[in-house]
Chain A
Amino acid sequence: MNLFLTLFSGAAITAGVAFFIAGTVALLRFPDPLSRLHALTKADSLGLGLIVLGLLPWAGGWLAALKLILVWLLVLLAGATATQMIAEHIRRSEPPP
């Protein structure tokens, strides 16, 4: 059981790290702001979600686990709203050619 959990966590966290790195690469390489934004938020909210998932079994207590999930939900919420606002800002300030 324990081994299984460890493997599961390892996989989830590795995947999470990979998503973060992908997000950064996207931020650095993609040509226009909107596509960068698109790639970035997906990457980091999913990446964080996977890491939280990986850490959940080790949280030690349901309160601590709840806190982890809350962190993730907050980041999701922030990502969703901020992204939309940034997108709106881009649209306003840089009209498409």
Chain B
Amino acid sequence: MSLVLDVMLALAVIGVAGWTLLVRGNFPAVIGFVAYGLLLALVWVRLGAVDVALTEAALGAGATGVLLLFAVVRLRGGKAEIDAATPSPPQRVAAAILCGVVGLGLAVAMLNLPDPAPSLAAEATRHLPLLGVGNPITGVLMAYRGLDTLLEAVVLVFAVLAIWSMAPDRRWGAIPGPLFPVQSSGPLSLLARVLPPIGIVVGIHIAWVGADAPGGKFQGGTILAAMGILAWVAGLWRLPPVASRGLRWAVVAGPLVFIGVGLLGFVIADGFLSYPPGFAKPLILLIEAAMTLSVAAAIVLMVAGPPERPA
């Protein structure tokens, strides 16, 4: 039964991916992409990677989908130009052969990986009691490979600033993103009032349980961001202008706390990002809390885009 389910899933994922590539029209393509993300989340559950499934559902399908969708609405390219940029059939055949070779090479390589598979699973689990957390993935993200996570948190700040800096000069200091009319009644207004309180609880829950169960800052932060975006598109929440210091501190708070705790390690433990015995879990939770806030702020700002209307 599980095998049948897996084969079905695999075929569906490939089918939806192909359809997303080939369909005419950008709007259906984005719907296809969201469906693709949803199916991938199911695949991740089948692979037993619930943490990743959560991230894929929230970030891969949800946030990326909305990002793409907003872009579709604002982009309507000229037909002639598209034709001019379309590769000729021979070029396409060449590309297809090349990509086929890459895919085939990958498949061969995957099928020839050594058996038994080398794995760090035992090693990663062995040190968990030292950290006081129950979820090995949190152990990897926050301790063993903490530097990766720190750099990735900084990448989000990079992205926000880079997106802002694409704005025209005269718009600097303005409010990010387009303006949505206030919805005082109707279904959107209802949803934007009812859903965020629930979403915020769920988001914090997902971020909080991350230490011991699947979840964590990126997943929880994305849900919080989605609720913010919902309130924003319903006109119920005005985004602060990019000149707002509070907004900027919200974006950098997570990475700064991360670095601060890391540097504290020089004083109270064995060096950067090392946690003293017994204090690992509270410190990790502190970082996660600050990071959840910053991830949420960064994602809202990335979806909103560069500043475009006067404060």
- Tell whether any CB of A sits under 8 Å from a CB of B in the complex: yes
Residues of A within 8 A of B (CB): 70, 74, 77-78, 80-82, 84-85
Contact status A77-B188, CB under 8 Å: no
For the A-B complex with A77-B191, A82-B187, A85-B187 known, give 15 more contacts whose Cβ atoms are closer than 8 Å: A70-B198, A70-B202, A74-B195, A74-B198, A77-B194, A77-B195, A78-B191, A80-B187, A81-B187, A81-B188, A81-B190, A81-B191, A84-B186, A84-B187, A85-B188
Residue of B nearest to A85 (CB): B187
B244 to chain A, nearest CB (A): 31
Contact with A along B181-209 (1 / 0, CB 8 A): 00000111011001100100010000000
**Residues on B with beta carbons closer than 8 Å to the beta carbon of A82:** 187
A74 to B230, CA, bound (A): 15
A37 to B188, CA, bound (A): 18
Number of interface residues of B (CB under 8 A): 9
How many pairs, one residue from A and one from B, have CB atoms within 8 Å of each other in the complex?
18
**Residues on A with beta carbons closer than 8 Å to the beta carbon of B190:** 81
**Residues on B with beta carbons closer than 8 Å to the beta carbon of A78:** 191
A81 to B195, CA, bound (A): 11
Residue of A nearest to B190 (CB): A81
A75 to B195, CA, bound (A): 11
Residues of B within 8 A of A (CB): 186-188, 190-191, 194-195, 198, 202
**Residues on B with beta carbons closer than 8 Å to the beta carbon of A81:** 187-188, 190-191
A80 to B190, CA, bound (A): 10
B76 to chain A, nearest CB (A): 17
Residue of B nearest to A80 (CB): B187
A84 to B194, CA, bound (A): 16
Best-surrounded residue of A70, A74, A77, A81 (most CB of chain B within 10 A): A81
Residue of A nearest to B201 (CB): A70
A51 to B186, CA, bound (A): 30
Residue of A nearest to B192 (CB): A81
Residue of A nearest to B199 (CB): A74
B288 to chain A, nearest CB (A): 21
Best-surrounded residue of B186, B187, B188 (most CB of chain A within 10 A): B187
**Residues on A with beta carbons closer than 8 Å to the beta carbon of B187:** 80-82, 84-85
A84 to B185, CA, bound (A): 13
A46 to chain B, nearest CB (A): 20
A85 to B183, CA, bound (A): 13
A82 to chain B, nearest CB (A): 8
A81 to B202, CA, bound (A): 20
Closest 5 CB pairs of A and B: A81-B187, A84-B187, A81-B191, A85-B187, A81-B190
A70 to B194, CA, bound (A): 13
A74 to B191, CA, bound (A): 10
A65 to chain B, nearest CB (A): 15
**Residues on A with beta carbons closer than 8 Å to the beta carbon of B202:** 70
**Residues on A with beta carbons closer than 8 Å to the beta carbon of B195:** 74, 77
A5 to B91, CA, bound (A): 62
A82 to B192, CA, bound (A): 12
A71 to chain B, nearest CB (A): 10
Mind listing 18 A-B residue pairs with CB under 8 Å? A70-B198, A70-B202, A74-B195, A74-B198, A77-B191, A77-B194, A77-B195, A78-B191, A80-B187, A81-B187, A81-B188, A81-B190, A81-B191, A82-B187, A84-B186, A84-B187, A85-B187, A85-B188
Residue of B nearest to A74 (CB): B198
Best-surrounded residue of B191, B195, B202 (most CB of chain A within 10 A): B191
Residue of B nearest to A78 (CB): B191
A59 to B188, CA, bound (A): 32
A85 to B187, CA, bound (A): 7
**Residues on B with beta carbons closer than 8 Å to the beta carbon of A85:** 187-188
**Residues on A with beta carbons closer than 8 Å to the beta carbon of B188:** 81, 85
A81 to B194, CA, bound (A): 11
